[in-house]
Chains A and B, each alone.
Chain A
Amino acid sequence: MLKRYLALAAVLLAFGFGLHKAWQRPAPAFGFRIPVPEAAPAQPVAAAKKPLTRKQYRELLAEKQRAARGRYASHLASSRLHAQTHASSLIELKDGRIRAFWFTGSREGASDVTINSALFDPAKGEWSDEHVVVDRKGTQRALHRYVAKLGNPVVGRAADGSLQLFYVTVSLGGWAGSSITVMRSTDEGANWSAPRRLITSPFINISTLVKGAPFLYADGSMGLPVYHEFVSKFAEMLHLDASGNVIDKQRLARAGQGTLQPVVMVRNENEALVLTRYSGKDNPHLARSLRSEDGGKSWGKVEKSSFPNPDAALSGITLPDGRMLAVLNHLEQGRDSLSLMLSEDGGQDWKELHRLEEMRVVRDKNLDEKQCLHIVEELLQNSDRRLAHAPAATLKEYVESAKARVRADGGCGFEFSYPYLIQAGNGDIHLSYTWNRVFIKHVTFDQTWLRKRLNKESYALGH
C-alpha cells in the first residue's frame, strides 16, 4: 500500500506543475482583427513645377486616360525555366512592394524542390529574379529530423510586424504525411530565422497542410487555416500565439465532408466566411462553405456553395466595403479555366466578374504540337509584356519550358490553379496563380478596373 501512496504523491506533485502551467496559460482569445488599409507609400514628388513640354503633356494625358480606364496588368512572377512551379502566396511589404513565395523543383514532390521568392515593384511593374529561401537539406538540418520533400508555402504578417512563412514538409509518405514548418523574418523577407516544426497532430505529427492565408485575431494571435488528409480529409484551424506557438486547434468539418484548403474571409470582428475546396464524391461538385458569427470561437455547419469546384484550391478576400472577391476554377472538372468571382451578400451568391483564363475550347481539339505551342506562345506573350518584346530565343525557351507540362500527355492541356489573392494598402488587388505548373503568374488590377467590371456586370444583368 505504501507504494500506492508514493505513486499518488508523485501524481499530485506532477499535476501541481501541470495545473499551474494550464492555469497560467492564457485562454485563446477570439474576435477577428479587421485589416486596416495602410496609407500608400509616398510617391516621389517633382522638385518644382515647370511648364510641360508637348511630349510630357501627351504622356500626362495618356496616363490620365489609362487611369480612367483602370489598370489591369499581368506578369510572370517566377523566372526559373525548365522546372515545375506551384502553390504561390503573396504579401505586401511595408514599402508597398509585393513579395511572392512558391515551391519549385524538377517535379512536385522531388527532393530538389525549394521554396523560392521574388519581389514585385508596383512603381516599375516588374518582378525581381527569384531566389531560394529555403531548401530540403537546410530544413532537415534545422529540424534535426529527416525531411523528404517540401510543399506549399504560405506567408502571413504577425501582429508584431514580422513575416511568418509556413511551409509544408513531408518526412513520411505522400502529401498526407505532411507537417508544417515555420520561419520568421523581421526584415521583410530578406533574412529568415531557422525553420521550426509546428506540432499539430497526434499521429506522428503527420497530415497537417497549409494553403489558405493566415489572419489575425483581435488580441494579435494568428489564425492559420489548415487541412488534414491522412485516412480522411477535413478542414481545421490552428490558433498561434504572438510567439508562433500553437495554442489551439479547431476542427472545421468532420471526416467525409471533403473539405480541403480552407480560405478565411473576415467580414467584421465577429463574422467570417470559410470557403473550401471540395474533394468529395457528391454531385454536383460544389465548393463548401461555413461561417463563424462569434469571432471564430465556433464554426457553423458545412454547406454547399453556389459555385462548382473541380477539387481545386480557391482564394478569396473581403473588400473594405464588405463585398467579397474570390478566384477559382469555375467548373466541375478540369483546371483550364480561372474566374474572378464577386459576392455582394456575404458569400451567399456569387457571380462571375471576369474570366482570367479560358482554355476549355482546346480540350477536345486534336491539336498537333505546332498548333499547341503556338497557343502557348501567345498565352505567354499575353501573360507578360516583357516576353512580347523579348528576343525570339528567350521566348522559345519559355515555350519549351511550358511544353513539358502542356504536352505532358501528348495532347494540349492547360492548368491555371492554386490562386492566392490579396489587397494591398492602396486598394490594388494582387493575384498569383500557377500557370501550367511551370510559372507563377501575377495579375494586378486597381479599384477603377474593378468598378468598371462591376458596372459592366450590372448592365449585363439588366440592373
Chain B
Amino acid sequence: MHWDTDLSGLAGITLAVFALLLRQRRVQALPWPQRMAVLLAVLLVLLVPVAGLSLAGLLRGITGDLSILTLLFLLLASARTLSGCGLVLDENRARAVQAIAIAALLFYPLVLGLGSFDPYRLGYGNLWFMLALLGFAAWAALRHSILLALGIALAVAAWSIGWYESPNLWDYLLDPWLGIYALAAQVRHWWKQRRGTVHVQPEP
C-alpha cells in the first residue's frame, strides 16, 4: 500500500475541488464562518469513503494525479479569491501560462504518437533533460516569469521526494487539464488582443 502517494494524490484532488468551489459566487457571498462550514462539509464528503471509495478517489480515477504546477495555479486562484487581491502579477502569470501552452502544444502530440521521439521518456531522470530544464527555469526566474520558475522548482522538488506515484518528472510539471486551461487562456488572450481589450498589469 502506498499510503503516502495516495494521500498526496487525494489531497491534490481535494485542493482542486476547494479552489473550484471558492470560485462560486454563492460561496464567495457567504460570511466567513459559513464559508468554512461549507468547506468542512465538502472535505468530509470528498474524503469519507462510501462503499470502499471516497468521492476524491472517484475523481482521482478520472482526472489522475494533478501536476504540481496545476496545484500551484489552483492555490493562487484560491488565495486570490480569499484575499481579494492577486499574489502574482497578471503579466507574470500570463507569461507562465503562455509557456505552459507552448509546452503542451509541443508535448502532447509527441507523446500521443506523432513521430518516433517520445519526450515523456526524458522524464525518468535524464540528466541532460534536467540540466536543460534547470537552464530554462533559471532564465524564467531572471528574465521571464518568477511564477513559472517557482512552479518548475516545486515540481522538481516534489519529484525528488517521490510526492506522487509517478517516477516521471513530466507528471509533476504538466497534466492535460493544465495544458487545456493554458491553451484556452492563450486563445482567449489572443482573441482579446485582436479586439484590443487586453489590459495587463505591468511589472514594476
Does chain B have a CB within 8 A of A161?
no
A143 neighbours in B (Cβ, 8 Å): 6, 61
Main secondary structure of the interface of A (DSSP, over half): mixed
- Chain A residues positioned under 8 Å from B161 (CB to CB): 17
B152: chain A residues at CB < 8 Å are: 11, 14
B120 and A201 contacting across the interface, CB-CB below 8 Å: yes
| Inter-subunit contact B138/A203 (CB<8 Å) | no
Binding stretch for chain B, among A104-112, A244-252, A275-283, A425-433: A244-252
Chain-A contact segment, one of B34-42, B50-58, B190-198: B50-58
Q: Are B167 and A249 in contact (CB under 8 A)?
A: no
Q: Is A19 an interface residue (CB 8 A)?
A: yes
Query: Is B85 positioned at the interface, with any CB of A under 8 Å from its CB?
Result: no
Distance from B9 Cβ to chain A, minimum over Cβ atoms (Å):
7
- Say yes or no for A202: interface residue by CB 8 A criterion: yes
Q: Fill in one digit per residue for A228-268: 1 if any B CB lies within 8 Å of its CB, else 0.
A: 10111110000000000111111100111000000000000
Q: Are A255 and B114 in contact (CB under 8 A)?
A: yes
Judge whether A8 is part of the interface by a CB distance below 8 angstroms. yes
The distance from the CB of B11 to the nearest CB of chain A, in whole angstroms, is: 11
Interface string of B95-139 (1 = CB under 8 A from A): 000000000000110011111111011011111001101100110
Name A12-46 residues within 8 Å CB distance of B: 12-15, 17-23, 25
Would A228 and B113 count as touching, CB distance under 8 A? yes
How many residues of A sit at the interface, in one of the four size bands?
A: 35 or more
Distance of A144 Cα from B161 Cα, bound (Å): 21
Query: Which residues 122-172 of B sit at the A interface, judged by CB distance below 8 A?
Result: 123-127, 130-131, 133-134, 137-138, 141-142, 146, 149-150, 152-154, 156-157, 159-161, 164-171
Q: Is the beta-carbon distance between B112 and A250 smaller than 8 angstroms?
A: no
Check A203 against B146 for contact (C-beta < 8 Å).
Answer: no
A233–B152 alpha-carbon span in the complex (Å) = 31
The verdict on A171 contacting B160 (CB below 8 Å), with A11-B141, A203-B108, A204-B175 known, is: no
| Choice from B6, B149, B160 contacting A20 with Cβ under 8 Å | B160
Contact B124 A247 (CB under 8 A): yes
**C-alpha gap A248/B118 in the complex (Å):** 11
Closest Cβ–Cβ distance, residue B8 to chain A (whole Å): 11
A4: chain B residues within 8 A (beta carbon) = 141-142, 146
Complex-state Cα separation, A72 to B1, whole angstroms: 43
Complex Cα gap A456–B46 (Å): 67
In the complex, what distance in Å separates the CA atom of A234 from the CA atom of B164? 27
Decide if A144 touches B62 in the complex (CB within 8 Å): no
Q: List 13 A-B contacts (CB under 8 A).
A: A10-B153, A11-B149, A14-B160, A19-B134, A171-B61, A202-B111, A202-B175, A204-B176, A228-B113, A231-B113, A247-B167, A248-B124, A250-B118
A198-225 vs B, CB cutoff 8 Å, 1 = contact: the mask equals: 0101111110000000000000000000
Provide the bound-state CA to CA distance between A276 and B169, in Å. Answer: 30
By beta carbon, the residue of chain A nearest B172 is: A18
* Bound Cα distance A10, B166 (Å): 23
The answer to whether A451 has its CB under 8 Å from any CB of chain B is no
Closest 6 pairs between A and B when the two form their complex, measured CB to CB: A146-B61, A255-B113, A171-B61, A14-B153, A199-B166, A232-B113
Whether B112 and A230, one on each chain, are in contact in the complex, defined by CB atoms closer than 8 angstroms, is yes
Q: Out of B6, B52, B58, B113, which one reaches A254, CB within 8 Å?
A: B113
Q: Is B71 an interface residue (CB 8 A)?
A: no
Distance in angstroms between the alpha carbons of A74 and B202 in the assembled complex:
77
Q: Are B64 and A205 in contact, CB atoms less than 8 angstroms apart? A: yes
Tell whether, in the assembled complex, residue A199 and residue B171 are in contact, meaning their CB atoms are under 8 Å apart.
yes
Quote the shortest CB–CB distance from A303 to chain B (angstroms): 15
In the complex, are the beta carbons of A22 and B121 less than 8 A apart? Answer: no
Contact B170 A202 (CB under 8 A): yes
| In the complex, A319 has a CB within 8 A of chain B | no
A365 on the B face (CB < 8 A) = no
Closest to B128 in A: A22
The answer to whether A197 and B165 touch across the interface, beta carbons within 8 angstroms, is yes
Question: Cβ of B10 < 8 Å from any Cβ of A?
Answer: yes
Q: Considering the complex, give the chain B residue whose CB is closest to the CB of A252.
A: B116
Please name all residues of chain B whose beta carbon is closer than 8 Å to the beta carbon of A232 when the two chains form the complex. Answer: 112-114
Contact A144 B9 (CB under 8 A): yes
Docked pose: A3 CA to B142 CA in angstroms: 9
CA distance A83 to B57 in the complex (A): 30
Q: Once bound together, how far apart are the Cα atoms of A179 and B153, in whole Å? A: 28
- Further contacts, 15 of them, CB under 8 A, given A11-B153, A19-B131: A8-B142, A10-B150, A11-B138, A11-B149, A18-B169, A20-B160, A22-B127, A23-B127, A146-B53, A146-B61, A202-B174, A206-B64, A246-B167, A250-B121, A255-B113
Q: Closest residue to B118 on the A side, CB-wise?
A: A251
Name the B residues within 8 Å of A137 (CB-CB).
51-52
Interface: B2 (CB within 8 A): yes
**A80 contact set on B, CB distance < 8 A:** none
Residues of A within 8 A of B116 (CB): 251, 254
Q: A180 near B: Cβ within 8 Å? A: no
A246 adjacent to B111 (CB under 8 Å): no
Q: Contact: B167 with A11, CB < 8 Å?
A: no
A202:B120 contact, CB within 8 angstroms: yes
Closest Cβ of chain B: how far from A231's Cβ, in Å? 5
Whether A196 contacts B126 by the Cβ 8 Å rule is no
A204/B141 in contact, CB under 8 A: no
Cα A255 to Cα B118 in complex, Å, equals: 11
Query: Bound state CA distance, A206 and B175, in angstroms?
Result: 12
